[in-house]
Structure 1
């Protein structure tokens, strides 16, 4: 299973020169808690950072910083874990765990943003696999009863 099969392809993005107010507005409009910060170039959008609702609270609200005096680029997380869409999902999960991140942008071979993988997406995969295993056990039990009444 690849990251590209399971990532969310509808990623809400923002540019680093936008205001935190714009970030909050986008988060509210799309009901998300994070945005991928992108740099536009001729090939497409390249992820350069992430900003979360928590970043805004911790960096601005808790520090009494006026949102008009900073940009998204000033408060975004720059130590970005980027996953490749052809990367194995288990390997990606391990990398996310090692770095302690719950979400990671997904890029194609040209390093252009194509999605976002979240822990929730990985949990969905695992839940499906566990359900499949439960079905196997049930079918095995039914088979056993038919063969050995």
Structure 2
């Protein structure tokens, strides 16, 4: 049919990462310093960064701050989500949106064939792409009207 957007084409390849043993308060500072709400947690295996979890600002609030725990006494692996939702580089945009909806997530690490980190895609990335597509549709509607006026003044 034509152009098919893939997850690999829209994901950000610049990912802020952490390791399981990273102190949680350090991870929170890393989020603040990099202006992100999510860290992809990785292990180094044979020179590759393998995705093992995700830590979000919401994880910190709900699992640490709300119950009054000491963030300085915890590590990322104590709080991170290990029930991973990932996408593959060649997944279509539609497959990605369906996964986000089905799993109830806003951010998804993008992985290669061996589970290695490729990037991360967010709901904001998807909305940006879709807004561009809607703009193209609006342009098509506008062009149709102009064409009609030219052909039948």
TM-score with structure 1 length normalisation?
0.96
Could you say which residue in structure 2 is the equivalent of 1:67?
Answer: 71
Distance 1:58 1:86 in 2: 33
Checking the alignment, whether the CA contact within 8 Å between 1:43 and 1:112 is kept in structure 2 is: no
Instruction: Give the one of 27, 30, 33 matched to 1:26.
Output: 30
Contiguous gaps of at least 5 residues in structure 2: none
Query: Number of aligned pairs?
Result: 149
Secondary structure (helix, strand or coil) at the match of 1:105 reads strand
**Is residue 142 of structure 1 aligned with residue 146 of structure 2?**
yes
Instruction: Give the one of 12, 17, 32 matched to 2:16.
Output: 12
* 1:43, distance to aligned residue in structure 2 (A): 4.0
* 1:139, distance to aligned residue in structure 2 (A): 0.8
Instruction: Give the one of 21, 38, 43 matched to 1:39.
Output: 43
**Is residue 86 of structure 1 aligned with residue 90 of structure 2?**
yes
* 1:6, distance to aligned residue in structure 2 (A): 0.5
Could you say which residue in structure 1 is the equivalent of 2:136?
Answer: 132
Distance 1:145 1:67 in 2: 66
Could you say which residue in structure 1 is the equivalent of 2:52?
Answer: 48
- After the TM superposition, list the runs of 4 or more consecutive aligned residues in structure 1 that deviate by more than 6 angstroms: none
**Is residue 97 of structure 1 aligned with residue 95 of structure 2?**
no
* 1:68, distance to aligned residue in structure 2 (A): 3.0
TM-score with structure 2 length normalisation?
0.93
User: Could you report, residue by residue, the CA deviation over 1:42-67 in whole angstroms, capped at 9, with x for unpaired residues?
Assistant: 14111111111121122112222222
* 1:119, distance to aligned residue in structure 2 (A): 0.7
